[in-house]
Amino acid sequence: MKEVDYIIVGCGLAGVSFCEELRAHEKSFVMFDDQSQQASIVAAGLYNPVILKRFTAVWKAKEQLEMVNSFYERLEKLLGVKLDYKLPVYRRFSSIGEQNDWFNASDNPYLENYLSPQVIPNHNSEIDASFGFGKVLESGRIDTSTLLTHYKLFLKTNNSYCTETFDHAAVKHHENEVIYKNITAKYIVFAEGFGMMKNPFFKDLPLNEAKGEVLTIKAPQLKMEFILKASVFLVPELDDCYSVGATYNWEDKTNDITETAKTELLDKLKTLISCDYEVVNQAAGIRPTVMDRKPLVGRHPKYDNMAILNGLGTRGVMIGPYVAKQLFLNLEKGIPLEAEIDIKRFQK
């Protein structure tokens, strides 16, 4: 029988964030992952403290951003790869009215650190932006695909990764431990993303999943060194490539790419750039979103040594490290979770 402190199910942004808490506190763990979900792999990887539709700050933006920098920097050192590309987001204005809304928002004390008050004129002839841009500060892109590839390798090298679908029916509960096949653990943490729907212990929690698709284009003439936000995001990657995303679909629950999503993204792209490009990739994943747009964190109401870390929604890059820390402190030190993220809010 192998003994560990934790079993983690799911190696997406939630699972990795929790493993990093465990490593920081020298706790032993085994990760189970079957690669059935793709959200963290296909994500554009943006972190941005402002909701650009409404010009409001993201929930706990300051607290989350404080963790983002050090979290991904530590991972870059651990894995020996570049992950964090610090880039401003340029929000394209479509009218003078929008410029005025921006000026007003940048005066707001919650936003003044994140919104540059000037209108930035457009100097790139390949981009259609006659009203210019508003610049968001403290934003960037995490290369989540590279992160996950290398993190899984790191876990494999340390004999902590099992490529296996976790079988919930095989869990045996004891007073202070759980037994899964030949492993005894103090806790199991489920970080399964949309896979939660197959988890008999937590499947009744209200996940309102949203499928998203994203394209990668190669556009050598574009030469754009910022993240452009208009009706879609256009995000610089390496070698003249850009990701274009993303769609929202609340009906389709597959990870399959579709022509409909491709057409939608290319139609929107047409209104943004005029240079030639080639579509080099298309990918899809299911975002684990929740009605109230807050994560699902906490212990099972009956089985105290089972917990969930899910519901990262559209912002797993920023919110993952923040909620993983809270769950760890709750399990190890009994520190209450913030009521807004605690799954108790859904228990009658």
Ligand X SMILES: Cc1cc2nc3c(=O)[nH]c(=O)nc-3n(C[C@H](O)[C@H](O)[C@H](O)COP(=O)(O)OP(=O)(O)OC[C@H]3O[C@@H](n4cnc5c(N)ncnc54)[C@H](O)[C@@H]3O)c2cc1C
d(CA 217, CA 62) in angstroms, rounded, equals: 33
Q: Which is nearer to ligand X, 37 or 326 (CB)?
A: 37
- Restricted to residues 260-289, the positions that interact with ligand X (CB under 6 A) are 285, 287-288
Decide if residue 21 touches ligand X (CB under 6 A): no
Helix axes 144-157, 61-79, angle to 10 degrees: 50
Q: Which is nearer to ligand X, 38 or 305 (CB)?
A: 38
Minimal distance in Å, beta carbon 189 to ligand X?
Answer: 11
For 167-199, what is the HEC assignment?
Answer: CHHHEEECCCCEEECCEEEEEEEECCHHHHHHC
Draw the binding track, 130-169, toward ligand X (x: CB under 6 A; -: no contact): -----------------------------------xx---
* Amino acid at position 308, single letter: I
- Restricted to residues 297-336, the positions that interact with ligand X (CB under 6 A) are 310, 312-318
CA 332 to chain centre: 25
Minimal distance in Å, beta carbon 257 to ligand X?
Answer: 10
Minimal distance in Å, beta carbon 343 to ligand X?
Answer: 14
Draw the binding track, 187-226, toward ligand X (x: CB under 6 A; -: no contact): ----xxxxx----------------xxx------------
The SS3 of residue 314 is: coil
Minimal distance in Å, beta carbon 319 to ligand X?
Answer: 7
Answer for which of 20, 21, 33, 76 binds ligand X (CB under 6 A) is 33
Q: What is the CA radius of gyration of the chain?
A: 21
Host H or E run for residue 150: helix 144-157
Q: Which of 212, 183, 256 has its CA nearest to residue 9? A: 183
* Amino acid at position 223, single letter: K
Minimal distance in Å, beta carbon 247 to ligand X?
Answer: 7
Minimal distance in Å, beta carbon 6 to ligand X?
Answer: 15
Provide the token pair at 113.
């650190």
Between strands 161-163 and 29-33, the pairing is parallel
Decide if residue 67 touches ligand X (CB under 6 A): no
230, 92 contact by CB (below 8 A)? yes
d(CA 284, CA 3) in angstroms, rounded, equals: 37
Q: Which is nearer to ligand X, 87 or 246 (CB)?
A: 246
Residues in contact with ligand X by CB under 6 A are 9-15, 32-37, 39-40, 42-46, 165-166, 191-195, 212-214, 245-246, 285, 287-288, 310, 312-318
